[in-house]
Chains A and B, each alone.
Chain A
Amino acid sequence: QITLKESGPTLVKPTQTLTLTCTLSGLSLRTTGVGVAWIRQPPGKALEWLALIYWDDDEHYTPSLQSRLTITKDTSLNQVVLTLTNVHPMDTATYYCAHRKNIASPFDYWGQGTLVTVSS
């Protein structure tokens, strides 16, 4: 059974760095082609793709947030980590991680999401 699970803080203060972890089960980050993305959704708003990392460490970021985002993976732990620096209240959102089989595939498996609130 394939599952993804996000973990991290629920409350972060403005200007701090947010670190989120996606733990994968039932699939491996070593598998050729595999990619894992982070996608967020502010309350009541649309989905926004943030970053994506592939099995071979190829990384891609949404241009508007690229300077604040870093995506990394730990193959031994089967985890993907997203960091977002200098957070502000507009970063309040549910953050999802999602899997794709390869560059020609859609996001077929998603985590349940984790709500992060940015507030002092």
Chain B
Amino acid sequence: DIQMTQSPSTLSASVGDRVTITCRASQSVGTWLAWFQQKPGKAPNLLIYKASSLQSGVPSRFSGSGSGTEFTLTISSLQPDDFATYYCQQYNSYLLTFGPGTKVDVK
């Protein structure tokens, strides 16, 4: 199985901050990497796919980069609606895996 890790596990930030979350894979996944946002009691929402492609309807303050084993999700200017948990997920393999999540909370 491909194992995914994320750092940090929790990130405290303020509105307007630039936020970066890192996701690492135990082996190369190419660019087959997605990012999801999840709020309490809700299903995950797709933000980024193919490592850097913005899903339709997602604000442009979200961006993704990386390839191989290291990826980042960046929020250029954190908004009140962005306080949530973020998950990366690889889909390079038939066996799909999610990262453990990064919670972005209020500083």
Instruction: List residues of chain A with CB under 8 Å of any chain B CB.
Output: 37, 39, 46-49, 52, 60, 62-63, 96, 100, 104-108, 110-113
Contact = CB atoms under 8 A, between A and B. Distances in A.
B100 A52 contact: no
A106 B49 CA distance: 6
Interface in B17-76: 32, 34, 36, 38, 42-46, 49-50, 55
Given A46-B87, A105-B49, A62 B43 contact: no
B44 A110 contact: yes
B1 interface: yes
B32, B43, B50: which has the most chain A beta carbons within 10 Å? B43
Given A46-B98, A47-B101, A110-B45, 11 more contacts: A37-B96, A46-B99, A47-B36, A47-B44, A49-B95, A52-B96, A62-B95, A96-B44, A105-B91, A106-B46, A112-B42
Chain B interface residue bracket vs A: 20 to 34
Contacts of A113: 43
A106 B51 CA distance: 11
A107 B98 contact: no
Given A96-B43, A112-B43, A46 B96 contact: no
Interface of B is mostly: loop
Interface of B: 1, 32, 34, 36, 38, 42-46, 49-50, 55, 87, 89, 91, 94-101
A60 B94 contact: yes
B46 A107 contact: yes
A83 B43 CA distance: 21
A49 B98 CA distance: 7
A115 to B, nearest CB: 10
B36, B38, B96, B100: which has the most chain A beta carbons within 10 Å? B96
